[in-house]
Structure 1
Amino acid sequence: MENPLIGVVISAENELPYMEECERILVGFGIPYEIRVLSIHQAPEKCIEWAKSAASRGLHAIVCGVGWSAPLASVLAAHTILPVIAVPLPVSSMHGLDSLMGMAQTNLGAPIATMAVGKSGAANAGLFAAQLLCLKYPHLVESINSFRAGLSQQVEAKDAALMQDRMRRMSGGGNPPA
């Protein structure tokens, strides 16, 4: 495996299903990454050392799933020069809104880019990390443009299918919606 360019961090295995969306985006762009389970509460020294060494190990950004361990992204940001991208995860009774509020209100000195809650936020975090890499790896620009064009084509196809269905219904080929 190539040296990872992006670090993906979770604090517990139950966060992995959400962060797999970030992985899917990174894999789709051919971006090598590493994924780690780190805990600021149970293994703080390891967590801080990982953050401190991230840049020297060749990482360019860190994507952090923020579930039960809301301080994790802040601690990582405080101990690295790299951009930290937080993804609030809906694992608590507040469905991630607690994590979102915590990440959106960080103190001066440890900035965090905060995405939406859940899988869409994780996917956008992967895309944001890929965009950051475009500054050093210009070949990614075309990949990202193609990805966006694909999204546009999907919307156009859904729109055309919906219009065709509604025209069929209006011309007597089906029952109108209730």
Structure 2
Amino acid sequence: MSVKVAIIMGSKSDLNVMQDAADVLKELGVDYEITVVSAHRTPERMFSYAKSAADRGLKVIIAGAGGAAHLPGMVASLTHLPVIGVPVKSSNSIDGWDSLLSILQMPNGIPVATVALNAAKNAGLLAAQILATADEYLAQNLINYKEDLKNKVEESAKQMKNEGYPSDFE
């Protein structure tokens, strides 16, 4: 097993959101690791984790955090690897806005790709797309995944028409 993607979160309570990234990576055949790394409660662990990530063979880091959401940006400041931030609407958040803005508003020079609130699945897909630029097998898995999405929409449209919903569009 050659782990390529790290999924980290500020608290185990974020796992219910971050599991979606793990699930889509597994579906696409991407090896990952997943753990808790708090920017505030375990800064030494965060420093060590981020600084050792590339040497351990990781290629992309997905970092989810709620509240002040410093984890993605702090990790991005410590590694050259791409970091994808997942703002998490947590129990102590201001309807998720604090998390979103904390991850989105990074200073120039420390980029963090940011997905929508609680959109860990999109973070997993983006990590896979980054890896697929150098992996034809994974690229084909992504093509198949998107084709399945398309087929599901087409099937839903047919079902609605068959159920009597009016539509002139074919």
Contact kept? 2:68, 2:102, Cα under 8 Å: no
- Structure 2 Cα separation of the partners of residues 93 and 115 of structure 1: 17
Match of 2:48 in 1: 49
1:19 aligns with 2:18: yes
Aligned-residue identity in percent: 35
The size of the alignment, in residue pairs, is 165
5+ residue gaps, structure 2: none
1:9/1:36 contact within 8 Å kept: yes
Paired residue type of 2:30:
I
- Larger radius of gyration between Structure 1 and Structure 2: 1
Determine the structure 1 residue equivalent to 2:144.
146
CA distance in 1, matches of 2:151, 2:59: 31
Structure 1 runs of 4+ with >2 Å offset: 92-95
Cα distance, 1:146 vs structure 2: 0.3
CA RMSD after TM alignment = 1.4
Of the three residues 122, 125, 133, the one matched with 1:124 is 122
Shift of 1:69: 4.7
CA–CA distance in 2 between the matches of 1:95 and 1:67? 10
What TM-score do the two structures reach when normalised by structure 2? 0.92
Q: Is the 8 A contact 2:63 2:86 kept in 1?
A: yes
Residue in 2 that maps onto 1:3: 2
What is the deviation of 1:68? 2.9
SS state at 2:110 partner:
coil
Deviations 1:49-92 (A, max 9, x none): 11011011000000011213511111100000000000111114
